[in-house]
Amino acid sequence: MLEIHELFAKVEGKQILNGLNLSIKSGEVHAIMGPNGSGKSTLGNVLTGRAGYEVISGDVMFNGKNLFDLEVEERARDGLFLAFQYPVEIPGVSNMEFLKASVDARRKHIGLPDLSSFDFMKLARESSQRVSLDPAFLKRGVNEGFSGGEKKRNEIMQMMLLEPSLCILDETDSGLDIDALQVVAAGVNAMRSEARSFIVVTHYQRLLDYIVPDYVHVLSQGKIVRTGDKELAKELEAKGYGWLEEEGV
Amino acid sequence: MSDAIVNRRQSIPAVLNPFQQHALVLAGQQVMSDGQGALLEALRQQGTENFKRATWPGRKVEHWKYTSVQALKAYESAAWATTAILPENFVSKRLITLNATRLVFVDGVLNAAVSDAMPAGISLFSGADADAAQVIRSHLGKIAGSVDASRRNLFAALNSAWTDDGLLIHVTQNVILEKPIYLVYLSTGSNAVANQRTLMVMEQGANAQVIEHFLSASSDAADSGFVNTLTEIHIGQNAHLHHTRLNLEHESAAHVGAVHVNLMRDAVFKGFTVAEGSKLKRLDYQLNHCGQGASLSFEGVYLARHDQLVDYHTCIEHRVPHCTSQQVFRGIVGDKAKAVFNGRIHIFQDAQKTLAEMNNRNLLTSNSAEINTKPELEIYADDVKCAHGATISQLDETALYYLQSRGISPSQARMMLSFGFVNELLSALPVEDVKLWLESWLKRRFSEDRSLVSDIKPRGNAGADL
C-alpha cells in the first residue's frame, strides 16, 4: 500500500523529517505518536503534497505509484485522504457542493458514473447521520461556524464518502469530548477493511483504546525511533517520551 | 464670509457642456398634464437649477476622481427612449419568479400588461389622488435634497429636472406588506435616454420588502441606453424596510443611479445590492440617520470584467445619537475592468454613542484589473465606535489546498472559492427566492467566464503546521 523510504523533508527552510522509513500493508492500522515538533503533522502534509512542504530526498510509493509524481488532487483521487487537524472554514461554499465536487472527482477518476444530485444528497444525509451530524450542516458553508467536534466529524464524513484506500488521521482526537471521540472512532472502525489502511497520528493513548492499532510507532526528531504493538502506547502513556530518550534510542 | 464666496460662485454663469445643454433640451421636450405639471414643476425647476450649477465630473472633482463620464458623450443628441415591445418570454425567462407585487417599467414607462394591479398606496405620480399628491408634495425631492448631498449628486439633480412621472409607494401606519414589492426596470437601449424616479414613504410602524431589479431587454445584444434613476425612501419611526437593488444591465449600457434614505427614530433599514459593471455604472447610496435609535445594515457585491466599470459611493450620515450602521461590500474585478468603492461615514458632533462599521474586501483576478477602495471617515463626535477595513487580496491558499486534498482540481477549486467570496454575503437576503435566483445567477457567471475566477498564484508559502 505505502512504502516510505529514507524520507527527508523541510518546512520553511527547517529540516523536519530526517530519514523516515515506514511500510504499510493493506488493511493495517498504524499509530504514530511522538512529542510536539517531532514531525507528525509534517508527514501528513508531505504525503498529501501541501505547498511549502519540500521533499529533500527519499521516495514514497503509494499503490505502486511514485507519490511525488502526482499533484495534490491526483493523490486524493488515487485514494489518499488526510483528515485535517485544523479543518478549513470556507464560508460561501456549501458543504454539500464541496462534498459533491470531491466525490464526483474521485468517482470519475476510478471510472464510476456521476451520482445524480438526488442520489448524492441521499448518500450525504446517510453519512452525516452515521457521524451524528445534523444534515442541516450540509447546507451550511464548509465548516463555517462548526465547533471543533463538528469539524472533525465532518472530516470523517468526507472520508466515508470518498472511500479512500489510505486514511491519515492527523490528531483527529484533539479537542474532542468522549462522546465525539466514540462517534469518530466508530466511524473509523466501520471503515476498516482488508483493502484500506490507516495512519493514526495522536498524542494520546486514549484514542487507541477505541481504534486498536496493529502497530505503534514513535516519531522523534523526524524519524521513527521505536516500533511496537498497542502495548507500546500504554507504556508511553505511563512513562512519557523522556523514557525513550534516556534509553538513547 | 463663506456665504459671500458661495454667492459669488453662483453668480457666475457656468458654461454648459454639450451633454448638459442637450439634457436641458430633453427636459423641455417632456409633456405633462396640468395636474402633473403643478405637482412636479417646483421639483423640476429646482433640479434644473442645481444641475446647471453643479461642477461637471472630472479627475479634480473628488467624488468622480476615478470614474470618467466620457461615455455620456454618446448621448449629446440622444432622444427619449420610446417604449419598445417586450422580448418574448421576457417575464418567464429573465425575471425572478417570486410571490410579489410586480411592476415592470420599460424605459421609464409602466407596462401594465406584465404588471400586477397596484395595491392601495401604490400609484404613479400621474395617477395620484389628493392623498397621494399630498405625500408626494411633502417628501419628493426632500430626502435627496440636503445641501451636502446635492452638491455631490448632480445626477440626482438631473433626475429631478427630468421627472415627468414616477412611482409612489406609500405604506401607511402600522401596515405590514405581506408580499414583497418587485420593481423591474427594463431598458431597451438604442442610444436613447430614460429617467426613473421612485418615492417610497413608510409611515410609523410600517414594514415592507422592496426589490429593485434593473436589466437590459436582451441579455446578449447591446443596450446602449443611458438610464438615470433616483429612489428616495423615508422610513418613519419604528418602521422596517428591506431593500434589494440589482443592477445587472448589459455591459454596453450606461447607468447612473442613487438611493437616498432617511431613517427616523428606531427605524430599521436592511439593504442589499449587487451590480455588474458596464461602460458607465455609478451607484450612490446616501443613508441618513435622522432619528435616535435607528439602525442600518447594508451588504453589497460588485463584479466587473472585460473593460467594465462599476463605482459604488456610499455615504452614511449619523446626524443624531444612538444609531448604528454596518456595511460590508465585496467585489471581484478581472480583465481590464475597474471598480471603485468609496465608503463615507459622517458622524455629526451631536451623534454620540454611534456605532459604525464598514468593511470592503476585493479580489483582483488579473494583473490589469483596477480597484480603488477608499474609506472616508469624518467624525466630529467624541464618544463613538467606528471601525473600517479595506483589503485587496487573493484567494486563501490553505482553502485551496483543502479543496485539492479532496480531489478537486485547482481550476475548479479557484472557481468555488471566488464564487464563495461573494456568495457568502447572500445569506443576508430575506426573500428565499431572490437568494436562490442570485445564487444561480452568480454560479452561471463564474462558470461561463473565467475572468472572475482568481487564477493568480498566491505568493509565498502557506503557514506551516509542524
pLDDT in tens, B100-118: 999 999 998 999 999 999 9
pLDDT at B317 exceeding the cut of 90: yes
Q: Of A16, A52, A102, which is closest to B461 when you measure between CB atoms?
A: A52
Instruction: Output the average pLDDT for chain A.
Output: 92
Record: contact A85-B423, CB cut-off 8 A: no
Residue A203: per-residue pLDDT: 86
Write out the three cell numbers for B453. 475566477
pLDDT at B464 exceeding the cut of 60: no
A61 touching chain B per CB within 8 A: no
Record: contact B404-A86, CB cut-off 8 A: no
Tens digits of per-residue pLDDT, B410-446?
A: 999 999 999 999 999 998 898 999 999 999 999 999 8
The β-bridge partners of B240 are: B207, B268
Record: contact A41-B423, CB cut-off 8 A: no
Mean pLDDT score, A71-77: 96
Residue B99: per-residue pLDDT: 95
Residue B149: per-residue pLDDT: 58
Q: Of A77, A87, A91, which is closest to B420 when you measure between CB atoms?
A: A91
Tens digits of per-residue pLDDT, B266-312?
A: 999 999 999 999 999 999 999 999 999 999 999 999 999 999 999 99
Burial readout A90-99 (b: 16 or more C-beta within 10 A, e: otherwise): bbbbbbbbbb
Residue B188: per-residue pLDDT: 85
- B466: confidence class by pLDDT, cuts 50, 70, 90: very low
Q: What percent of chain A has pLDDT over 90?
A: 80
Mean pLDDT score, B144-150: 67
Q: Of A45, A87, A90, which is closest to B420 when you measure between CB atoms?
A: A90
Q: What is the DSSP letter of B112?
A: G
pLDDT at A238 exceeding the cut of 70: yes
pLDDT at B9 exceeding the cut of 80: no
User: 3-state SS of chain A: helix, strand, coil percent to 5?
Assistant: 40, 30, 30
- B460: confidence class by pLDDT, cuts 50, 70, 90: very low
Record: contact A73-B401, CB cut-off 8 A: no
Write out the three cell numbers for B275. 451590480
ipTM score assigned to the predicted complex: 0.95
Give the CA count within 13 Å in the CB-facing half-sphere of B85: 3
Q: What is the DSSP letter of A135?
A: G
Record: contact A51-B424, CB cut-off 8 A: no
Record: contact A71-B404, CB cut-off 8 A: yes
pLDDT at B6 exceeding the cut of 60: no
Record: contact B407-A82, CB cut-off 8 A: no
Scanning A179-208 for CB atoms below 8 A from B yields: none
The β-bridge partners of A176 are: none
Q: Which of B395, B400, B404 to substitute to test the interface with A, most A CBs within 10 Å?
A: B404
CA distance B249 to B223: 8
Q: Which of A29-38, A214-223, B75-84 has the lowest mean pLDDT?
A: B75-84
Write out the three cell numbers for B394. 487573493
- B148: confidence class by pLDDT, cuts 50, 70, 90: low
- B13: confidence class by pLDDT, cuts 50, 70, 90: low
Burial readout A47-59 (b: 16 or more C-beta within 10 A, e: otherwise): bbbbbebebeebe
Residue A236: per-residue pLDDT: 86
Instruction: With beta carbons under 8 A apart, name residues in chain B contacting A73.
Output: 404-410
Is B168 or B457 the better-scoring residue by pLDDT?
B168
Write out the three cell numbers for A245. 530518550
Task: Give the number of beta-carbon pairs within 8 Å between A and B.
Answer: 102
Q: Is B293 left (phi over 0), alpha (psi -120 to 50) or beta?
A: left
Do strands A166-170 and A80-83 pair parallel, antiparallel, or not at all (unpaired)? parallel
Residue B5: per-residue pLDDT: 46
Residue of B nearest to A82 (CA): B405
Residue A214: per-residue pLDDT: 95
| Distance, C-alpha A6 to centroid of its chain | 21
Residue B2: per-residue pLDDT: 43
Record: contact B420-A141, CB cut-off 8 A: yes
Instruction: With beta carbons under 8 A apart, name residues in chain B contacting A71.
Output: 404, 410
Residue A87: per-residue pLDDT: 95
Q: What is the DSSP letter of B100?
A: S
Instruction: With beta carbons under 8 A apart, name residues in chain B contacting A97.
Output: 416
Q: What percent of chain B has pLDDT over 90?
A: 77
Mean pLDDT score, B29-38: 90
Write out the three cell numbers for B271. 439593504
Q: Of A16, A86, A91, which is closest to B424 when you measure between CB atoms?
A: A91
Residue B151: per-residue pLDDT: 66
Residue of B nearest to A52 (CA): B461
Mean pLDDT score, A132-136: 91
Q: Which of A18, A40, A70, A73 to substitute to test the interface with B, most B CBs within 10 Å?
A: A73
Q: Which of A32, A45, A50 to substitute to test the interface with B, most B CBs within 10 Å?
A: A50
Write out the three cell numbers for B147. 445641501
Residue B383: per-residue pLDDT: 95
